[in-house]
Amino acid sequence: MSMYIGEALVGEGNEVAHIDLLIGSKDGPVGHAFAQALADQKAGHSNLLAVLEPNILVKPATVLITKVTIKGAKQAVQMFGPAQFAVAKAITDCVAEGTIPKSDAENLVCVCGVFIHWEASDDKKIYDYNYEATKLSIERAMKGDPSAADVVAKKDSAKHPFAGF
């Protein structure tokens, strides 16, 4: 498989985490998206590598992309602080636990869309929710969850939390 796709929504309030994630080979479409995300920076959308700490890049190499325009220093620090660390820790834990095979970690890359609400204020919740959402999205991606049959089975009973009705 050249591309695994995962998604997860975790938490509540302004610190809610919504992760959209791609995992795939460096020489496939995810590798292209990874390189493009780093090479095509835009004002308010500063994409960044996931690091456990400065100078320790996670494997598979992961780029965080912002899903909303970053509008100030506080929101930027939340992205470059608790959100970045949460994603890095979740990726690393998934490798350590075997969700992402260690033997593939050097050949894969990850593109991780991260949402930071402009009124989020609790950095611990930002970390906790983004860690859980990233880990869940990776687990789902690597298993191919949900299946097409599961999605079809839920199509008439699904309730979207932000649909407004």
Per-residue pLDDT, 1: 64
Per-residue pLDDT, 99: 97
Is there a catalytic annotation at residue 117?
no
Per-residue pLDDT, 2: 84
Per-residue pLDDT, 3: 94
Domains and CATH numbers, the chain: 3-144 (3.30.230.60)
pTM: 0.94
Q: Which two tokens stand for residue 76?
A: 């930027």
By the 8 A CB rule, do 116 and 79 touch? yes
Amino acid of residue 39: A
Q: How does pLDDT run along the chain (165 residues), one tens digit per residue?
A: 689 999 999 999 999 999 999 999 999 999 999 999 999 888 888 899 999 999 999 999 999 999 999 989 999 999 999 999 999 999 999 999 999 999 999 999 999 999 999 999 999 999 999 999 999 999 999 999 999 999 999 999 998 888 888
Choosing from 18, 32, 117, 160, the catalytic residue is 18
Nearest to 81 by CA among 123, 49, 112: 123
By the 8 A CB rule, do 118 and 68 touch? yes
CA–CA separation, 82 and 63 (whole Å):
15
Angle (deg, nearest 10), helices 123-143 and 84-97: 40
